[in-house]
A and B are shown apart, each in its own frame.
Chain A
Amino acid sequence: MAERLYRANVLVCGGTGCVASGSHEVMSALTRELKNRGLEDEVKLVQTGCRGFCAMGPVMIVYPEGIFYCKVQAADVPFLVEETLIKGRPVERLLYQEPDTHQAVPFYQSIPFYSKQQRIVLGNCGMINPDVIEEYIARGGYSALGKALNEMTREEVIKVVKDSGLRGRGGAGFLTGLKWEFTAKAPGDVKYVVCNADEGDPGAFMDRSIIEGDPHSLLEGMAICAYAVGAKEGYIYCRAEYPLAIERLKTAIAQAEEYGLLGDNILGTDFSFHLHIKEGAGAFVCGEETALLASIEGRRGEPRPRPPFPAISGLWGKPTNLNNVKSYSYIPRIIANGSEWFASIGTKRSPGTAVFALTGKVNNTGLLEVPMGITVGEIIFDVGGGIPNGKNFKAVQTGGPLGGCIPVEHLNVPVDFDSLKDIGAVMGSGGMIVVDEDTCMVEFSKFFLTFAAAESCGKCVPCRVGGQRMLEILTRITEGKGKMQDLQTIREIAKGMESGALCALGQLTPGPVMSALRYFEPEFITHIQDRKCPAGVCESLTEARCMNACPAGVDVPSYIALTAQGRYAEALEIHRTRNPFALVCGRVCPAFCESRCRRGDIDEPIAIRAIKRFMADQELKHPWTPQVGQPKKEKVAIVGSGPAGLTAALRLRQMGYGVTIFEALPVAGGMMAVGIPEYRLPRDILNEEIQNVIRAGAELRLNTALGRDFTIDDLMNRDGYNAVILAIGAHRSRKLGIPGEEAAGVYHGVDFLRDVALGKNPDLRGKRVVVVGGGNVAIDAARTALRFGAAEVNIVYRRARADMPAYDEEIKGAIDEGCIIHYLTNPIEAIVDHGHIVAIRCQHQTLGDFDRSGRRRPVPVEGSEFVLDCDVLIPAIGQQTDLSCLNGDGIATNRDTTFVTNKALATNRPGVFAAGDAAKGPATIIEAVAHGNEVAVAVDMYLQKGRLVNPVWDPPYQFPEQKFNLDDYAEARRPHMPELDPKERVRTFAEVELGLTEEMAREECKRCLRCDLEWLRKMGGATRPVADMFPVEPVKTSQS
């Protein structure tokens, strides 16, 4: 085997993923190019098995440097050869880029996807040409077989495998060595060794990649096993959908036989082992060992009860050892390196590595191998590179369709057989599917259940019928036809299947549903009670994702369609049926709708908020006087004039109730008026919409504070109000909890913004301001401080940029205007001189394990303290409801300062309701508006029917027709919102965003894909089920 020496090796991935993305073409282009340039003798081209980084395919590595290229296409090849192989320079644009920083990473070892991995069983994958046995041998292949045959007895081989602690990688983790021992000790002359390569989990391709990338390691492992257990014949059961794997296996077996490594008298000893391939037809259940054996025998692939176990009575009734591909592939390494080596990797009870196929909503999809004991979060966020498009992680499904999901609160769980089982997930054979916030867990678990039910062989009743019944129930729930009783029935069926089904398929079929129920039960309940799919996935419940995503359910497609036609008044009228604050929300709404817009899946979401603002602005000249209903005798007091209070007031007026709004401050609008700076929301614009409520006949009493000027008793007993709505918001700033916080110069964010809004302008000229926090209040405070002449504004935030809760465009605006943001920094002390703050001592943070929000917990870096000079410290780390106004009113509250309410938004005191931030904690305007709508319905039902009910505000959707050809707008792009120049705006409170022009707005409307119309067509006239106004239990007064 005289090999010539090459000056460079180019390894092109030939795994299935890369082949699909064009690696064959790259390979032939390279061959051509090297030939054209006469480099064939200098550069060796190798097609390898899977390198694992499938998301980036086709990938290649150029040695000796180890330069890693990704997404290489045939067209890139000439330039690549020129630059790298002739001039010795990396091609920057083909290098891997860090998703966050966009920094290019030239070398294979430094790519985070690989750096946390420990590749043992995948060690050869992507390094050798799987079709060339010499390459395997060159990396030590078959030496373990030689060692076993020549230097070890059968018992010694089994002992090494036992001592290594290797647990079967098929999923259940039974001790491999013990299993071998059973087969070895079982009476009988004829024994078999069988490999389970029937990998059928959706999204799993570990076994396939090993066979495709390193087939000889499997053959060697099986041969060693055959020697140990006393078998002369073996079968590899591989599904026929893996043609490349089968092809490579055939080649490998032929080569091994030619070299005397398989067949008769292996390596000259009297040990013979013949290996056959059995192609499976793709039934999932054939991965169950007894079904697999039945299938090899040519019978219907169905499991049978065990005992007898295959070790005693397996293939054709003979003792049979059956292991997974990975289990066998570890064997040569364990024999070669010894049991202690293997046992030293991973954890004590789960030694070795785990191989995962990472797929779904994660940046680095692909195949990876990590030491056991690594946490779930590390796999997803470090190796996997986190969730794409800035979305939030929701769960990861392990163990495939028979596994379970791991929610955000378990990101710190170590990956090993036992820990995963404890939290209701399973190791399985290694599929890992990540889902983000846009995934409906009901639908997700239904997907797996559909698969498992379809793959039930039908032999035993619990699996055959139970799976189907459960699927029908889940289907009903996703269609909005579920009952609360259904959840109980699901649990019953699950219990019956788990204890009664014949094989693991039936016993584990309920797994995904049960773990989804365990961690996401509220989502199921929302489907059932509110007939709503929070993720906007369940088709029957989601006319359009934008409407579904909107907390108030605003009929987005309708007003967009009408705006496109210039029918602004009609558009606004539709908008106001669900949200009377179009002018406000057109400016400051976080636009949940846009984050779910389907157009965003294609290019960019529709600029819904900008369109809304344009539409609402057009009608500024026509003040709205809402129509009110038949006057009713009851009257309602609303405490607080924020978005929740105002919305409730408007709705109650529309129903005909007398309404009085009590506002403690001298201005109405709540946080809209005193929390959002003018440059984002001009006051006159806000007042325009407050006036609508006044025009509807609501009485507004400013400077009238609960607790100071009146009590709830006064309202109900003295003033004759029949109901009270507490919508007092969350206006109290949370404290930092550091020494020196009480010194002069500390100005809490909400107080600061409120004072500014009320005209108490601070003098910050020349001052150095430090804002603490990463939310919108922090950013608003920072930008406001700049506008008051601060010399320097530093924002200190303890986590990373990606974790900042403030809107992205706000953060960008702040940076543009000159704010300096210190990420991963936490204040630990306010340094005070003569009672006044002079500086802040800060400490750098590093990211530790994951907290319940799915973000990494900041961990102080010891010795990293530094001092920031500071004249004014603005803490803005969160708000609470100021409960001091409740003195003696007997309203129960939660620990987080919100009111205790039930689904009817009622407090413990009859007739007193709560809405907005004071009821659900600090949130957005649109959520407060939704609450306002609902609390009005709840109050109405209470006053008219005397009942507490789940309030439903659900005016019908319009579905206006499409007036133009959507195809004409296939290429159209989202417009840029015109803004004031940062240099100019930083000194004024003029509105930063200038609004779209009429042409921009109307053209943008036409990019809308009109999901609502498509839904209407699909549903064939059926309407979306509307939630029931079911009775709600009163709040128990014991809580307080």
Chain B
Amino acid sequence: MPDEGVLWSSVQSELILKEALSAMTTVTITIDGREVKARAGQTILEAAQAAGIDIPVLCHHPAVQPIGACRMCLVEIEKQRALQPACTFPVSEGLVIQTESPKVVEARKFVLNLLFSERNHFCMFCQMSGNCELQDLAYRYQLDHWAYQRAYPNLPVDSSRQYFVMDHNRCILCRRCIRACADLVGNHTLGLRRRGVDTMLVADMDVPFGESSCISCGTCLQVCPTGALMDRTSAYGGVKEEVERVKTTCQFCSVGCGAELVTRDNHVIRIEGDWDAEVNHGLLCVRGRFEPLYERRERITTPLIRQNGKLVEASWDDALQAVAQRIKAAGNTLGVLVSPRVTNEAAKLCAKVFGTAARVGSMSPVPEHLKREEGKLTDLDEADLFVVVGADLGKDHQVAGFAVKRGVNNKGARLVLVGEGENEFSPLAMAEFKPAEIEQAIVLAQGASSPVVVYGAKAGSELVLLREKLAGKARFVGLTPGVNSRGLQAAGLDKPANLSGVKVLYVLLSDDTADANLTDAAQGADFVVVQTGFETPLMDKADVVLPAAIWSERAGTITNTEGRKLAVTAALPPIGEARPDDQILKELAARLGM
């Protein structure tokens, strides 16, 4: 085709020069007759938004790079032959812009009419009806009939993925999902097949989504403007007006992502990343976004006391009384195990109630090399070489792993893995070394300009060598196991508890799971108290079970691996008679006379 089209004009040439000359200066432009100050380099859309002028968008999403594809944000600019997309057009001194002129409105209606004619958009049957950006725009521009004969294409619905579904019938090819997958997550699973009207969203080389390299982080889902991507738990679960949203912190690893819980009728129906959160900027991983909604464990809704070998329902008074009595009597034979899932507040109370003696400790203490807070997660985005030591970022701390993927896949950073065995990151790595081969990794890191060492719980003595050799050269980012290990650390609880000779065992499980070791530890005790939100095999040994609120029902703070204190907000009231850990501990303290 002609290489230039007809876009070149003298106005354009003027623009080129202006663009070349533009520094970080302030310019004055006119939007809808209003003079607006804008920063050179800003887009018209950004300048308009800052001035409180609403320009509609579809393909644009603030979290991803603008591409000017959907043409919803077209505006009329004086001296420009065609309408221009506000999302990509840079401001320059003296621009005069109309955002809702008749010509603009006509163009937007045209785009909307085309979109509605393209695939099968039947709003009344869509789970996103009422929540859909496309539908909102149709109302805004008063589309009341099909302007163009519809094609009724026969398009598939891909439901091969566990947590969410892709319905091509509702896709408008805005590519937000593709950009989210590539730019934000660095995963590059999503792409396009064919071109023109045959363009289809595909995963990898057009395989079913469930069989693709998708890691189910759900970022695509979160940016989809229509009902093309729908999650199974909240589909048809209620429109904007019928749900409530609570901002909180994800409590499924020590990264501490900001999350928003979407609830309806005392159920969490969806979890979304909080775009404003500094730790994750809106991203979540499968463990934070989807898995909590598929919790299969039964809840404990009332206190239970063992009578005649059976746990029977009891009142809080009776249960706490029984527990207090035994604790008082236990003296030195009291042992306490605390899960790192508890909040800072619960941890502090725990320390207050039980002290920080040798028989009080964490269910999974942080290894010595991680005790010190080191590095910031934001360091990851500045690396040109990663050395990942003793961590599997595909399984744990996934959102930190996204930063590594962004670095490797999008910015050309190199990745060196140190540890045993292959993991999801192996294909991205330029080299993989055994801990014994750490010298080789050090050589590579020394050759980089901005190396970052990311280490996890499994890192060993090789870390010492790394620290020594790369001192002053590399930044180190440690990733603690558990959710709030740092909180336990602060409360002095992060150490292994000495349970030998323990007669009364208090397990503050909260909403954690108990492993076999714990069950073994409980064998020796005469009296076992389990404070838990869910049924657990440990209850077989329990004499008293105290029903705890879980992650969505409690408030307080947690401290992430960086040492950042993050707020946890209760989105739901505790189920039944369950109570948050800190409240239970408070009442216990009262009964213990503290």
Contacts and interface: CB of A to CB of B under 8 A. Distances in A.
B7 A306 contact: yes
A499 B82 contact: yes
A285 interface: yes
Contact of A500 (B16, B111, B115, B173): B111
A52 interface: no
Interface string B89-118: 110000000000001001100110011011
A569 B455 CA distance: 100
B422 interface: no
B16 A307 contact: yes
Given A172-B8, A461-B69, A502-B71, A289 B198 contact: no
B197 A453 contact: yes
A301 to B, nearest CB: 9
A508 B196 contact: no
Among A289, A292, A399, A464, the most chain B Cβ lie within 10 Å of the Cβ of A464
Contacts of A453: 196-197
Contacts of B15: 307, 309
B148 interface: yes
Contacts of A284: 1
A201 to B, nearest CB: 7
Interface string A258-295: 00000000000000000000000001110111001000
A624 interface: no
A171 interface: yes
Contacts of B12: 306, 309
A171 to B, nearest CB: 3
Interface in A295-334: 300, 304-309, 311-312, 322-324
B13 A182 contact: yes
Contacts of A154: none
Contact of B85 (A305, A322, A400): A305
Interface residues of A, number: 74
Given A459-B69, A469-B117, A170 B3 contact: yes
B156 interface: no
B67 interface: yes
Contact of B16 (A304, A309, A496, A504): A309
A390 B172 CA distance: 51
A717 to B, nearest CB: 52
Contacts of A461: 69-71, 111, 114-115, 118, 172
A187 interface: yes
A507 B82 contact: yes
Contacts of B85: 305, 502
Contacts of B196: 453-458, 463-464, 467-468
Contacts of A508: 2, 5-6
Nearest to B90: A307
B330 interface: no
Contacts of B192: 300, 458
Contacts of B5: 171-172, 288, 503-505, 507-508
A41 interface: no
B4 A500 contact: no
B169 to A, nearest CB: 15
B110 A500 contact: yes
Contacts of A198: 1, 3
Interface in A445-467: 453-467
A489 interface: yes
A356 to B, nearest CB: 14
A400 B70 CA distance: 26
Contacts of A462: 71, 110-111, 114
Given A311-B16, A458-B195, A461-B114, A305 B149 contact: no
Among A170, A288, A458, the most chain B Cβ lie within 10 Å of the Cβ of A458
A312 B22 CA distance: 11
B87 to A, nearest CB: 8
A172 B4 contact: yes
Given A170-B3, A307-B15, A489-B148, A283 B195 contact: yes
Contact of B198 (A196, A458, A489, A502): A458
B199 interface: yes
A312 B19 contact: yes
Nearest to A199: B1
Nearest to B191: A300
Contacts of B114: 461-462, 465-466, 469, 496
Contacts of B1: 171, 198, 200-201, 284-285, 287-288, 400-402, 429, 455, 504-505
A324 B3 contact: yes
Nearest to B12: A309
A461 B113 CA distance: 10
B67 A312 contact: no
Contacts, number: 198
B167 to A, nearest CB: 18
Contacts of A400: 1-2
B8 A174 contact: yes
A466 B147 CA distance: 12
A171 B3 contact: yes
Contact of A289 (B3, B16, B111, B118): B3
B124 interface: no
Nearest to B115: A461
A322 B173 contact: no
A472 B114 CA distance: 13
A469 B149 contact: yes
Interface string B365-409: 000000000000000000000000000000000000000000000
B88 interface: yes
B45 interface: no
B198 to A, nearest CB: 7
B436 interface: no
Interface in B497-524: none
Given A458-B198, A464-B197, A312 B110 contact: no
Contact of A502 (B13, B16, B68, B172): B68
Given A311-B16, A456-B197, A460-B71, A507 B149 contact: no
A465 B197 contact: yes
Among A460, A463, A473, A501, the most chain B Cβ lie within 10 Å of the Cβ of A460
A402 B194 CA distance: 21
A307 B89 contact: yes
Nearest to A453: B196
A827 interface: no
Nearest to B15: A307
B151 interface: yes
A467 to B, nearest CB: 7
Nearest to A431: B2
Interface in A38-79: none
Contacts of A307: 15-16, 19, 89-90
B251 interface: no
Contacts of A171: 1-6
Contacts of B217: none
A174 B117 CA distance: 37
Nearest to A430: B2
Contact of B2 (A185, A402, A473): A402
B17 interface: yes
A586 interface: no
Nearest to A305: B68
A182 to B, nearest CB: 5
Nearest to A195: B3
B74 interface: yes
Given A457-B195, A461-B114, A500-B71, A182 B2 contact: no
B84 interface: yes
B83 A499 contact: yes
Given A458-B197, A498-B82, 16 more contacts: A185-B20, A200-B1, A292-B3, A305-B68, A308-B19, A311-B16, A426-B2, A428-B2, A429-B2, A464-B199, A465-B114, A468-B196, A469-B117, A496-B106, A499-B83, A502-B69
6 smallest CB-CB distances across A and B, nearest first, come from A504-B5, A171-B2, A458-B199, A170-B3, A496-B110, A287-B1
10 contacts: A287-B1, A288-B5, A306-B7, A309-B12, A455-B196, A462-B111, A468-B196, A496-B111, A500-B107, A502-B85
